[in-house]
């Protein structure tokens, strides 16, 4: 993970496959603009956009500028032409079919000419901002055209977006294809949750403080609850979601990243390999999931933020009898010395009561009741809540004596809020990821074995669900906290979920 982000990366070309797509305009280009603000763009940068539609370089550039300007305006900001020119001084659009060799021949010529003109040292970052069905093809075509080979001193790197496969087998096949043409050190598999400051901060909290690590284990922790709740629905992505569902969309990637950050052993250094090795080790310790550990749900109509919301089955491009899950909750056990017997409860879903992502660590109760008025069962337990988004914060809940003549206890909180302490520069969450890739730091990217281990954990559930239709779908109202079966999952262990708010 790049320390204080001061040095600009080496000059290079960034080739964006999917230049006209959503990701390019919403995240990649704004992230480059924000990097320019911090002086963290390469001194010489050439952007090459590849896509199948007809466009001139000028049209491509202007469309991206307009979109950026509009987005900035919405947040009361104005586009700064100096910063924009740092991003846009060399932008070339190449019309081409991702599946045709001809595109890569043209790209090769264009890269050679651009490099000669701008002296980019042969450095190229290929960004696959395309539908996942193109990942393997693009990697293979780059390889066959000789574009993936690193030259003396010059780098060739590839960013791969999510979803990385649909199950263990397809993830393995995709890894095998990428690794046929590129080395692991050239491949940057993105999980955008790792671009979030609050997620990166979990490592700082745990490993840069003497306070937490000694209590971060089964002796002190009762259980962990990880929630990634969204109140939005599927936002017009019916075609994608019908093939994907909540489990594939969120669990082996985003939720498991949160689990890994919380549960991994301390690495020997902040070096990428040291951290990734510890994460991979943690995944290997996860107990295979059984169907009894997992609950699925699908939203019905309801009220979200006081507005009526339609049922999932009524969304565009969704089958009226769809059995795709929009909610999943599970109980995960990690079989290692630190976590044996400490369940990790995970849940994620669309159209829930609120947008709320948090990791809540519940500590064991005080062992006996010192206070006659309050029996130990009634004492609130202590919680450490890492609030990932929104209202990013870290909150510690503990018991305190309520002022007054009697010894009455009350649960109180100490809170650190990011926005109170830090002046935050505008960010879309891709800045660190792109910057780290440009400087060759793979800490925040997923290694092949990690991705496969994560799919391996959910594989029995994917297989089990494929063979049995869910009963009672839809089973939760839009705007609620999810299906009641999710509550039963914790009630079985004598526990309950925190409120989603
Ligand atoms: C994406 C999923 O990877 O993450 C979406 O495909 C989800 O379905 C999104 O809404 C959540 O990301 P964030 O950053 O908005 O919490």
Lowest mean pLDDT among 67-81, 255-269, 362-376: 362-376
- Does 52 participate in catalysis according to the annotation? no
Which residue is closest in CA terms to ligand 1's atom 9? 250
State if residue 436 touches ligand 1 by the CB under 6 angstroms criterion. Answer: no
Contact 260, 254 (CB under 8 A): no
DSSP character at residue 292: G
Rounded-to-integer distance, Cα 443 and Cα 465, Å? 34
Between the CA of 246 and the centroid of ligand 1 the distance, in Å, is 10
Q: Strand 124-128 and strand 12-17: pairing? A: parallel
Examine the pLDDT at 2 and tell me if it is beyond 70.
Answer: no
Higher-confidence position of 301 and 399: 301
429 token code pair = 């969450």
pLDDT, tens digit, for every residue of 187-215?
999 999 999 999 999 999 999 999 999 99
Residue nearest to atom 15 of ligand 1 (CA): 230
**Is the distance from the beta carbon of residue 249 to the nearest atom of ligand 1 less than 6 Å?**
yes
> What pLDDT, on a 0 to 100 scale, did the predictor assign at position 377?
61
Tell me which of 192, 254, 287, 472 is the catalytic residue.
Answer: 254
DSSP string of 449-486?
HHHHHHHHHHHHHHHHHHHSPPSSSS-EEETBS--HHH
Find out whether 247 and 461 touch, Cβ atoms under 8 Å.
yes
What pLDDT, on a 0 to 100 scale, did the predictor assign at position 238?
A: 95
Q: Where are the strands (E) in 323-421, listed by range?
A: 327-332, 344-349, 356-363, 383-389, 393-401, 409-417
- The pLDDT tens digits of the residues spanning 472-486 come to 999 999 999 999 999
CA of 267 to the centre of ligand 1 (A): 28
CA distance 136 to 218: 42
- Under 8 Å between Cβ of 203 and 261: yes
Task: State the distance from the centre of ligand 1 to the C-alpha of 379, rounded, in angstroms.
Answer: 37
Nearest CA to ligand 1 atom 14: 193
Pocket test residue of 161, 190, 230 for ligand 1, highest count of atoms within 8 A of CB: 230
**Residue 13: strand pairing partners:** 46, 124
pTM: 0.94
Indicate if the pLDDT at residue 1 is higher than 90: no
pLDDT tens-digit readout, 31-65: 999 999 999 999 999 999 999 999 999 999 999 99
Q: What angle do CA 124, 130, 134 make, to 5 degrees?
A: 95
pLDDT of residue 3: 53
Residue 151 has pLDDT above 80, yes or no: no
Q: Which atom of ligand 1 is nearest to the CA of 228?
A: 16
How far apart, in whole angstroms, are the C-alpha atoms of residue 467 and residue 128? 33
Q: What is the pLDDT of residue 367?
A: 75
Q: Comparing C-alpha atoms, which of 448, 444, 458 is closest to residue 246?
A: 458
Give me 466's structure tokens.
Answer: 């494929």
In percent, the amount of the chain with pLDDT more than 70 equals 97
pLDDT of 372: 58
The answer, yes or no, to whether any atom of ligand 1 lies below 6 A from the CB of 162, is yes
> What's the pLDDT band for 153 if we cut at 50, 70, 90?
confident
**Per-residue pLDDT at 4:** 53
* 141, 104 Cβ separation under 8 angstroms: yes
Q: Does the pLDDT of residue 376 top 90, yes or no?
A: no
Query: Residue 245 is inside which H or E element, if any?
Result: helix 238-250
Question: Which atom number of ligand 1 is nearest to the Cα of residue 355?
Answer: 16
Calculate mean pLDDT across residues 123-152.
95
| pLDDT tens sequence across 308-349 | 999 999 999 999 999 999 999 999 999 999 999 999 999 999
Q: How far, in Å, is the centroid of ligand 1 from the Cα of 255?
A: 11
Q: What's the confidence (pLDDT) of residue 369? A: 63
3-state helix, strand, coil in the chain (%, to 5): 40, 20, 40
Helix (H, G, I), strand (E, B) or coil at 181: helix
Residue nearest to atom 8 of ligand 1 (CA): 249
Residue 24: alpha-carbon gap to chain centroid:
17
End-to-end CA distance of the chain: 31
Between residues 216 and 376, the one the model is more confident about: 216
Give the model confidence (pLDDT) of 419-453 as tens digits. Answer: 999 988 778 889 999 999 999 999 999 999 999 99
Average pLDDT in the chain = 94
Question: 230 CB less than 6 Å from ligand 1?
Answer: yes
φ, ψ (nearest 5 deg) of residue 244: -110, -65
pLDDT exceeds 80 at position 83: yes
The pairs formed by 340-343 with CB atoms below 8 angstroms and a separation of 24 or more are 340/218, 341/218, 342/217, 342/218, 342/221, 342/222, 342/223, 342/224, 343/223, 343/224, 343/493
Asked which of 93-97, 241-245, 375-379 is least confident by mean pLDDT, the reply is: 375-379
């Amino acid at each position: 993970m790049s320390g204080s982000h001061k040095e600009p990366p080496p000059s290079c070309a960034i080739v964006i496959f999917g230049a006209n797509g959503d990701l390019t305009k919403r995240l990649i280009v704004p992230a480059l603009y924000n990097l320019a603000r911090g002086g963290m763009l390469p001194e010489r940068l050439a952007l090459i956009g590849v896509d199948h539609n007809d466009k001139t370089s000028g049209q491509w550039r202007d469309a991206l500028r307009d979109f950026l300007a509009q987005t900035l305006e919405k947040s009361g900001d104005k586009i700064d032409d100096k910063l924009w020119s740092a991003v846009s001084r060399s932008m070339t659009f190449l019309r081409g079919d991702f599946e045709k060799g001809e595109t890569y021949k043209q790209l090769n010529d264009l890269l050679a000419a651009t490099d000669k003109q701008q002296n980019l040292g042969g450095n190229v970052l290929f960004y696959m901002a395309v539908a996942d069905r193109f990942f393997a093809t693009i990697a293979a075509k780059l390889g066959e055209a000789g574009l993936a080979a690193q030259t003396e001193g010059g780098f060739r790197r590839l960013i791969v977006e999510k979803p990385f496969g649909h199950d263990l087998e397809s993830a393995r096949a995709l890894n095998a294809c990428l690794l046929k043409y590129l080395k692991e050190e050239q491949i940057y598999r993105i999980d955008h949750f790792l671009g979030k400051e609050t997620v990166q901060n979990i490592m700082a909290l745990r490993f840069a403080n003497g306070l937490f690590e000694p209590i971060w284990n089964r002796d002190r922790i009762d259980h962990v609850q990880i929630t990634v709740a969204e109140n939005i629905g599927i936002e017009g992505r019916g075609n994608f979601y019908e093939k994907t569902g909540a489990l594939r969309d969120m669990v082996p990637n985003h939720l498991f990243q949160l689990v890994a950050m919380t549960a991994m052993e301390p690495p020997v250094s902040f070096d990428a390999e040291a951290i990734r090795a510890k994460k991979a080790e943690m995944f290997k310790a996860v107990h295979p999931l059984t169907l009894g550990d997992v609950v699925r749900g699908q939203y019905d109509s309801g009220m979200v933020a006081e507005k009526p919301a339609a049922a999932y089955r009524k969304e565009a491009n969704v089958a009226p009898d769809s059995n795709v899950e929009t909610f999943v909750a599970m109980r995960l056990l990690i079989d290692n010395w630190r976590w044996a017997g400490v369940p990790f409860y995970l849940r994620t879903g669309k159209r829930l009561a609120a947008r709320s992502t948090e990791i809540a660590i519940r500590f064991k109760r005080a062992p006996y009741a010192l206070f006659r008025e309050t029996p130990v069962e009634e004492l609130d337990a202590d919680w450490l809540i890492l609030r990932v988004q929104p209202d990013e914060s870290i909150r510690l809940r503990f018991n305190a004596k309520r002022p007054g003549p009697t010894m009455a206890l009350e649960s109180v909180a100490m809170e650190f809020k990011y926005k109170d302490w830090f002046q935050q520069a505008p960010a879309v969450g891709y800045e660190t990821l792109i910057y780290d890739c440009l400087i060759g730091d793979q800490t925040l990217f997923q290694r092949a074995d990690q991705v496969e281990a994560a799919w391996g954990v959910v594989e029995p559930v994917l297989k089990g669900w494929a063979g049995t239709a869910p009963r009672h779908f839809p089973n939760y109202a839009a705007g609620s906290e999810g299906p009641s079966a999710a509550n039963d999952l914790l009630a079985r262990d004598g526990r309950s979920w925190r409120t989603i708010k």
